[in-house]
Structure 1
Amino acid sequence: MSVACPMSRVAGAAYGIVEALEVDTVPSWFPVGFCLLTQDEQQYVAYYNEQHQMVVARRSVDGRKWQKVTLPSKIGWDSHNYVTMAVDSAGYIHLSGNMHCVPLIYFRTEKPGDITTFQRHPMTGREEQRCTYPRFLNDAEGNLLFTYRSGGSGNGRRFYNIYDVATKTWTRFLRTPLFEGEGQRNAYPRGPLKGPDGLFHVVWVWRDTPDCATNHHLSYARSPDLKHWETAAGKPVHLPLTLGQSELCVDPIPSGGGIINGCESLTFDSDHRPIISYHKLDENGHMQIYVTRFEDGQWRGHPITSWEKNITFSGRGAMPFIGIRVSGLRRVEPDMFCITYKHRDYGSGRIIVDEKTLRPVERDVTVPSEYPRELTRPTIAFEGISVRLAHDAGSPKDADTKYVLRWETLGAHYDRPRRPPLPPPSVLELVKLQRE
């Protein structure tokens, strides 16, 4: 069921390209995440160069020359090993990355904004031997936090640290992990993200083993401050969050039930109620897209497709296309959402969803495009190449200006090297966009 797809049109882009500035050449033979951070009049880019070395580049916003520093960390072929940055309230740059079940890799500058002074540090010194998924974020009071997974797919725990700017030290933000796999599983969260209601929201699935087929139990929690957590109904829950807390379960999808970590997306309706979209197998074993919303004290969900094909997947590492890929819901009109998909048998399309009913509708809707097509059109002539974008982790002073990183790579390949022939290196560009 994708009845609304023929009725939707793509409008002109909301942003136009002002300029593109080359940063470096980078690997095109595997995908891994880079980081762009705009802070006041400075821009910082963290990435892996053509030789797989971790590099940080800096420029002034109105400059065209890059200052570059190579850090003592080198990536293999692991697409988990993205790099991420943050700036604390005193102007010091924090960086973490190149981690997949390895000891913590964390750098901090010795001088504010000076990338030549990066030094490697521990944080708390505890549970820092098997780290993955680093993320910097801010709590409700603006304090710098850092979260990461300790352990692996079948035995993971998520810790949160808080940074003291005065003493330049990290301590535990939470006395326990936020997510506790109890030695039998691991949580794969999306978020926390701050919603329109001012609360922090997080959705996740549990996974039993490194095999992605073992994802199960879509779940949700919210918090006013990232310390005190509760259900969608506002009932407090104790930390750590575990599988046994059934009140957090949105959909008790079994292992092998067709959900994969990362397919779940969270958005909000006009009344600030959370809506989650995801895919799973229906009662006939056919893959469908589902949406669910917390209404009248419970999660009410249903499929928005009626496909008649089964899709099964399994495997370890960063997975290539598994046969289904779904975006989150995106508001395209005051009372309409759009969701896009790519299906092995049904191709690509978009579905228009009514906000009130969360049902597909046949309606002539113009879907706005955020970026011009030339930004996402590959220039490397090699089968399987696609464009990667990294959005700004900071914020420019001009609200009508955006910056993105752009480069091109092949898709994921289980974190393993590919055999030649390989595509040429990609140009990594910083692209400046202006609202049209």
Structure 2
Amino acid sequence: MQANFHTLLWLLTAAASVVFGLSITSATTTTLGIDVEGSARLNGGSFQTSAITSYNGWQYAAFYNTSGTYAQNLVTLGRRKINPVAAWEFIVFKDYVQTTIDGHNTISLGISTGDGTIHLSYDHHDVPLHYRVSQQGVATNPASYTWSTALFGSTLNALPGATGIWTPVTYPRFERVDNDLFFELRIGASGSGDSYIYLYSSSTHSWSQVGRYLQGSDNNAYINGIDYLSGRLQASWTWRETPDVVTNHDLGYAYSDDKGLTWKNNAGTTIASMSAGTAIGPTTSGSIVYTIPQGSGILNQEGQIADAAGRFHVLNRETTSGTYLWYHYWRSATGIWTRNAISISGLGAPTATGLRGKLAIANSGELIALIPSNTNTEVYIYASTVAGSFKDWKLLWTGTGFSTEPLFDKARLKDQNILSVFFRQSGSYPDRKLQVIDFALGS
């Protein structure tokens, strides 16, 4: 498989270029490959954490590549040097064939920086765990290793070293924690499930169960994600009563300052303890920061991000005003929540189950929103500032020809101030491509 490597310098309008000092100075596009055949979006799902990540001057992207036969797809992992930028190189795992055309069954990618292991989890919708891991050191000294499937073990149905429940699994996620790695997943079905966290130790090269931190009661929590920054792990979610999206309700929030062992509500009261076997449920005191009734449009698994100033941000949508609107909810460093409708000229309204967006933080502190249109093939990148109370949204970029929930490389944004975004094009197979666009941010 060859990557089509080319550079596009986007000519931005003067109004889009002058945004609180933040601008996109250039955008470089590379093509990873052809998106797989079928009606479901197997590449580029909102809950796919992470499809793209970087470490130690190299970037990695995980996606399904077609085997050439309908509904027989192969896990593919790309890597490239990014300082300076080089061409992608790919490995294709042919020992596991993905056959379920279901948009839940995406691939998640994680790196343990302490021992240089690369972790993959894939193909889940209420099925047993699928997981594999590389040899130690592969991400620490990548130039020393020929990129090959021989660097990875086989597909496993349990996390090595950990005891746990390994089926039915949906929505596996990785999140870096210092030199180690979190793994979060749902056990159970839509409308009836619990959420667990595991911790990979780079010193012992094995997993341990942190515990069940969210527990359904004839319902389940759909998290927007888990974010670990400056010693704090934060999660937000909506509850769902049934598999029907209209039964989503409420915005929940909790944080942990001991790597998930105990959880606190917004007021700082401990509401769950893994050692005591207690978890956060739908009626746990102080865990709901905004009461949003069923049928009010809030969608599961939208966007969230923590920033270096101690704030926490959530992106979602509601119809509580009588019409669908995007919403930004944010928590100050002192625990005060604010709820703002995102009113931007030219930004179309979201829909009940339309494509979901993401939030990111520029090194200069601006909040970045990556929002896909719910009515056409456009994707927008906006920015806002704390000085403007995160209401002063300005357009940085518009792209067209996508059918994607944009995913970005959080590590590269922090390390290089480059917003690398994983996109899936619109269109039909085999013309529909998977691409990465690198947005250089400047002032």
TM-score of the aligned structures, taking structure 2 as reference length: 0.70
The amino acid that maps onto 2:243 is P
The SS at the match of 2:154 is strand
Residue 99, structure 1, aligned to residue 120, structure 2 = no
1:393 and 1:154 map into 2 onto residues whose CA distance is 30
8 Å contact kept, 2:74–2:97: yes
Conservation of the 8 A alpha-carbon contact between 1:104 and 1:130: yes
Q: Does 1:119 align with 2:148?
A: no
The match for 1:278 is 316
Structure 1 residue 87 corresponds to structure 2 residue 103:
no
SS at match of 1:213: helix
8 A contact 1:145–1:163 mirrored in 2: yes
Trace 1:309-324 onto structure 2 (pairs within 5 A).
Answer: 313=352, 319-320=353-354
| In structure 2, C-alpha distance between the alignment counterparts of 1:54 and 1:131, rounded to whole Å | 20
User: Matches of 1:156 and 1:45 in 2, distance apart?
Assistant: 29
Instruction: Give the root-mean-square deviation of aligned CA atoms.
Output: 4.4
Residues 189-235 of structure 1: CA distance to partner in whole angstroms, max 9, x if unpaired?
1232145x653322111001110000012111122233222122222
Over 3 Å counting, the alpha-carbon distance change for 1:230 and 1:99 in structure 2 is same
Give the direction of change, closer, same or farther, for the CA distance of 1:257–1:109 in structure 2 (3 Å limit): same
How many angstroms apart in 2 are the aligned matches of 1:73 and 1:17?
A: 34
Task: Flag the 1:407–1:341 CA change in 2: closer, same or farther, 3 A.
Answer: closer
Q: Quick check: 1:237 aligned with 2:283?
A: no
Instruction: Return the letter of the residue paired with 1:261.
Output: N
User: 1:392 aligned to 2:409?
Assistant: yes
Q: Which residue type is aligned with residue 56 of structure 1?
A: T
Deviations 1:329-387 (CA, angstroms, capped at 9, x unpaired) = 9889989998968577xx999999885785967xxx75434xxx6xx443xxxxxx536
- How far residue 238 of structure 1 moved from its aligned partner, in angstroms, is 2.0
3-state DSSP class of the match of 2:97? strand
Q: For 1:330-349, list aligned pairs within 5 A.
A: none
Distance in 1, Cα, partners of 2:414 & 2:386: 33
Are the counterparts in 1 of residues 240 and 249 from structure 2 also a CA contact under 8 Å? yes
Question: In structure 2, what is the equivalent of residue 191 of structure 1?
Answer: 225
| Residue 273 of structure 1, CA deviation | 4.3
Structure 2: runs of 5 or more not aligned: 1-13, 45-50, 139-147, 274-278
Find the counterpart in structure 2 of residue 130 from structure 1. Answer: 168
What is the distance in 2 between the residues matched to 1:311 and 1:192? 24
Secondary structure of the residue aligned to 1:27 is coil
Q: Offset at 1:249?
A: 1.0
Q: Distance in 1 between matches of 2:300 and 2:104?
A: 13
* Counterpart Cα distance in 1 of 2:109 and 2:216: 27
Between 1:141-150 and 1:115-124, the stretch displaced more is 115-124
Aligned residues: 387
> Which amino acid letter does the alignment assign opposite residue 247 of structure 1?
G
1:216 paired to 2:249:
yes
One-letter code of the match for 1:255? Q
Please name the residue that 1:178 is paired with: 213
Partner in structure 1 of residue 4 of structure 2: none
Shift of 1:63: 5.2
Partner of 2:142: none
Question: What is the aligned partner in structure 2 of residue 160 from structure 1?
Answer: 197
SS of alignment partner, residue 55 of structure 1? strand
Q: d(CA) in 1 for partners of 2:418 and 2:391? A: 34
Match for residue 74 of structure 2?
Answer: 54
- TM superposition shift of 1:106: 0.4
Going from structure 1 to structure 2, the CA distance change for 1:47 and 1:351 (only over 3 Å counts) comes to closer
Q: Secondary structure at the match of 2:33?
A: strand
- TM-score, with length taken from structure 1: 0.71
Of 197-206 and 142-151, deviating more is 197-206
Aligned partners of 1:405, 1:156: CA distance in 2, in Å?
A: 29
The 1:219/1:71 distance shift into structure 2, 3 A limit, reads: same
Match status 1:109 vs 2:134: yes
CA distance in 1, matches of 2:437, 2:216: 41
Give yes or no for the alignment of 1:76 onto 2:113: no
- Which of residues 235, 253, 276 is equivalent to 1:202? 235
SS of residue in 1 equivalent to 2:192: coil
Q: Structure 1 stretch 242-251 or stretch 163-172: which is displaced more?
A: 163-172
| Distance (Å, rounded) in 2 between the aligned partners of 1:162 and 1:38 | 20
1:428 pairs with one of 431, 434, 439: 434
Matched, 1:368 2:396: yes
Q: Structure 1 residues 331 and 433 mapped into 2: Cα distance closer, same or farther (>3 Å)? A: closer
Q: Matched residues in 1 for 2:258 and 2:25: separation?
A: 34
After superposition, where does 1:244-323 map in structure 2 within 5 Å? 244-263=283-302, 265=304, 272-282=310-320, 285-292=322-329, 299=337, 301=339, 313=352, 319-320=353-354
SS in 2 for 1:99: coil
Percent sequence identity over matched residues?
Answer: 21
Residue pair 2:80, 2:87 contacting (<8 A) in 1 also? yes
Measured at CA, do residues 357 and 105 of structure 1 come closer, stay the same or move farther in structure 2, by a change above 3 Å? same
Q: CA deviation at 1:60?
A: 5.1
Q: SS in structure 1 opposite 2:246?
A: helix
Deviation at 1:303, TM superposition (A): 5.0
Please tell me the residue identity of whatever aligns with 2:271. V
Mapped partners of 2:111, 2:90: distance in 1: 19
What one-letter code is carried by the residue in structure 2 that aligns with 1:178? Y
- For each residue in 1:102-150, what CA deviation from the matched residue of structure 2 results, as whole angstroms up to 9, or x when unmatched? 10000123464353233122213531111011111233x4322211110
- The alpha-carbon deviation at position 65 of structure 1 amounts to 4.8
Farther-moved stretch of structure 1 (393-402 vs 68-77): 393-402
Greater radius of gyration (CA): 1
Distance 2:370 2:437 in 1: 26
Change (3 A) 1:327 1:142: closer
The equivalent of 1:14 in structure 2 is 24
- The one-letter amino acid of 1:53's match is N
The answer to which of 116-125 and 129-138 deviates more is 116-125
Unaligned stretches of 5+ residues in structure 1? 1-7, 314-318, 379-384, 411-421
Q: 2:175–2:228: 8 Å Cα contact kept in structure 1?
A: no
2:3 corresponds to: none
